[in-house]
Chain A
Amino acid sequence: MSAINERGYIHPDMLVSTEWVAEHLKDADIRIIESNEDPLLYPSGHIPGAVQVDWTTDLNDPLRRDYLHKDGFEKLMSRIGVTPETTVVFYGDKNNWWACYALWVFHLFGHTNARIVDGGRLKWEQEGREMTKQAPAYPPTQYQAKNRDDSQIRAFRDEVLKHVEAKLPLVDVRSPAEYRGELLHMPNYPNEGALRGGHIPGAKSIPWAQAANPENGTFKTADELRAIYEQGQGLKADDDIIAYCRIGERSSHTWFVLTYLLGYKNVRNYDGSWTEWGNLVNVPIER
């Protein structure tokens, strides 16, 4: 795999390599954050000095379906010892999908001084780098957060409906079977959290993991990504795009790829995603 700055990304500085992380483990201006789908991974061993941000318990409002608000974000930043000047560096399992989700939530609060570790936890492990079970403790910080701004990179259902009516591009990043509505109809299996299967009309099916190299979770080169999103599906850098999946985690990975690796300016993540759309009354669905 070529070096990050040789892959043709528009914002290569949004990625750091595992080598770079290894060299900055004791850098006080940097906080390494692990964010996983599997809650057992961090306690089983993690990058020395890394803190855990758990999507379920740290980033979500405990009552309503929404993310935490300003005061919750301030408490989280204080707990993990982050100031507004700290560079936060995310990594995690499954091609960094939850890491990208956490980064996206941090962006909602304007903490854009954030990076993703190319290859994430998988590549770090493959390289035999140091892991520890010791959870670090950092002095609490005073963090003055901005109010959460949902207007730029987050889409809500009414906006999605207008997007559909205007025939603007949508990207469904779920598996092809989910896109076709098949997984909702298997007998004896828990359903996917939605009453109806299919996809939002007009959405293009571009499974999120196509953007990553399966052998080590690193991101594909800009040329390879353009082949998928542009030559393959006709998206353009100046398109107004909404991406979605089931709850917004996989589509935040695609949001990251389109926004930072390919430099698209208008990409939003619809985190309501299929668990909202597939339960809404009287919205259009395609199969």
Chain B
Amino acid sequence: MADYPPKLAEVLEDFSFLTDRNERAEYLIEIADRFKEAKVTPDIATKPYEESHRVPACESEAFVWALDNADGTLTYRFDVLNPQGLSAMAISVILNDACSGTPLEQVATVATDIVFKIFGREVSMGKGQGLMGIVAMVQHEAQKRLANKN
């Protein structure tokens, strides 16, 4: 787990112990219940959101914002327009916990395949694409800031 930001490595380790599909789902539902913590607030953006924040290929209509912190890190905020997009909400909470305030170098290398470590291999292709898109957008924002610094 050394390649991941420490908080993400902890989460991935937790999920690695969840071999029962129902237990995994229960845990993810609990995480999704905390979506308010990661949700974009009106002082950052209001609907209709700019399309540049939309996650491509995400059927749950997820949006991502990256806000610059004074220490050079980013705070991530999310919205999921589909009220039934629980998986998108769960990955948003996990990414907020793991990547907000985290050194950009660590966030920039987060691989999109964490989706399968978190949700399991049986996640459908379309669902996987959408969730990976959210991870990719978080990663991409960190990469952009790093490129601007160099």
Contacts and interface: CB of A to CB of B under 8 A. Distances in A.
Contact of A190 (B26, B28, B29, B112): B112
Given A38-B60, A43-B29, A190 B133 contact: yes
Nearest to B86: A40
Contacts of B28: 40
A192 B80 CA distance: 20
A267 to B, nearest CB: 22
A246 interface: yes
A18 B25 CA distance: 26
A40 B29 contact: yes
B92 interface: no
Contacts of B69: none
B72 interface: no
Contact of B125 (A40, A189, A247): A247
Interface in B47-71: 56-57, 59-60
B15 interface: no
B127 A186 contact: no
Given A39-B123, A56-B124, A188 B87 contact: no
A177 B112 CA distance: 22
Interface stretch (B6-14, B36-44, B98-106, B135-143): B135-143
A55 B25 contact: no
Interface in A185-242: 186, 188-190, 192-193
Nearest to A120: B84
A43 B84 contact: no
A40 B140 CA distance: 27
A275 B60 contact: no
A193 B133 CA distance: 13
Contacts of A56: 122-124
A94 interface: yes
Interface residues of A, number: 28
A43 B122 contact: no
With a 10 A CB-CB cut-off, give which of A38, A94, A183 has the most chain B CB atoms: A38
Given A39-B87, A44-B29, A121-B84, A188 B136 contact: yes
Interface string A4-20: 00000000000000000
A183 B56 contact: yes
A40 B90 contact: yes
Contacts of A93: 82, 84
Contacts of A122: 83-84
Contact of B87 (A40, A54, A94): A40
Given A43-B25, A122-B84, 11 more contacts: A36-B84, A38-B85, A39-B87, A39-B127, A43-B22, A93-B82, A121-B84, A186-B56, A188-B139, A189-B137, A192-B129
5 contacts: A39-B122, A40-B87, A188-B136, A189-B140, A247-B126
